[in-house]
Amino acid sequence: MRGPVKPRPRVDAVRETLMSWVGARAQGGQHRLPPEPELAEELGVSRATLREALRSLEDEGLLTRARGAGTFLADRPRVPNNLAENFGVTEAIRAAGMRPGFVEAHMRRQVAGPREAARLSLNEDDEVVVLDRVRTADGRRVVYTVDVIPASLVAESNDLAGRLARQSLYDLFRTELGIVIHHGVTRFAPARASRTIADKLRVPRGTLLLYLDQIDYDETGRPVLSSHEHHLADAFEFSVVRRGPGRRKA
């Protein structure tokens, strides 16, 4: 008597496995995928399921397929970002010659809580406005951002999330709130994608990301914006000017 038939893996599960496999292969400098029969056997899936998963990755621009040549990892441009300059993701993407955009933008009001209260010099029960969205470059999801603003700066009727389709958050601060961002202080750290962030960026859970934690100040030195950004590591190139000690006084 034959045992129970195992259910076929769902395409999204195969897709996640395939993305992890592709990511490891890219880090190893291998850009051509094996033939479909070999790849299906290595991943332990049917060729039909594999084809559907490959098609979804191709639609997102992560793979390219050429008849008679095979399947290749897409050569995607990176967004350059100078760490010595304080400008937003929108400006960085546009400066790289790509089209900035966002998806899944949400705006809500909530109490600050201890962490954001300390960062924005507020009381813990003061209200803040939270904007979270996925940033895109030429349609590719590259950054998940959460921006926190003291609610006292934003009128109840002001729909910042709706206005972000037309201008950057820094521009909105200037035009809508009458606040000029003078400077920001940023902390950088590696981070693994949680389930929520992995879903937002369409990457496997545990993918290594670059986490930017920034507080922006106005011209009086008042903290007006607390930002948390998770960047795809392969989508950005960061640079900074490092100055020498110069001439020292005796």
27 and 142 in a single domain? The answer is no
Residues 107 and 197 placed together within one structural domain of the fold: yes
Boundary residue ending a domain (23, 44, 73): 73
Give the domain range for residue 227. 79-239
Helix (H, G, I), strand (E, B) or coil at 118: helix
pLDDT digits (tens, 9 = 90+) for 77-132: 444 444 444 456 666 666 666 777 888 888 899 999 999 999 999 999 999 999 99
Residue 2 within any structural domain of the chain: no
Is residue 160 scored above 70 in pLDDT? yes
33 and 89 share a domain? no
Give the pLDDT of residue 111. Answer: 96
Question: Which one, of 136, 131, 51, 129, lies nearest residue 89 by Cα?
Answer: 136
Is-above-0.85 flag for pTM?
A: no
Between 196 and 241, where is the model more confident?
A: 196
pLDDT at 45: 82
Biggest CA-to-CA distance, the chain: 91
Q: What is the tens place of the pLDDT at every residue in 8-30? A: 446 667 776 676 666 555 545 55
Measured N-to-C along each axis, helices 36-43 and 47-59 cross at an angle, to the nearest 10 degrees, of: 100
Per the structure block, which two tokens stand in for 142? 């590259």
CA distance 247 to 137: 43
pLDDT band at 57 (very low <50, low <70, confident <90, very high): confident
Structurally, how many domains does the chain consist of?
Answer: 2
Residue 244 lies in a domain: no
Domain assignment present for residue 205? The answer is yes
Judgement on whether residues 68 and 144 belong to the same structural domain of the protein: no
- Residue 60, in any domain of the structure: yes
Q: Mean pLDDT in the chain?
A: 76
129: domain CATH number? 3.40.1410.10
Look at residue 197 and tell me whether its pLDDT is greater than 70: yes
Dihedral in degrees, nearest 10, Cα atoms 96, 230, 191, 113: 150
Cα distances (Å, whole numbers) of residue 135 to 68, 95, 104, 162, 224: 35, 15, 9, 14, 21
Most confident of the ranges 30-39, 58-67, 95-104, 169-178: 169-178
The CATH code of the domain that includes 37 is 1.10.10.10
Percent of the chain having pLDDT more than 90? Answer: 21
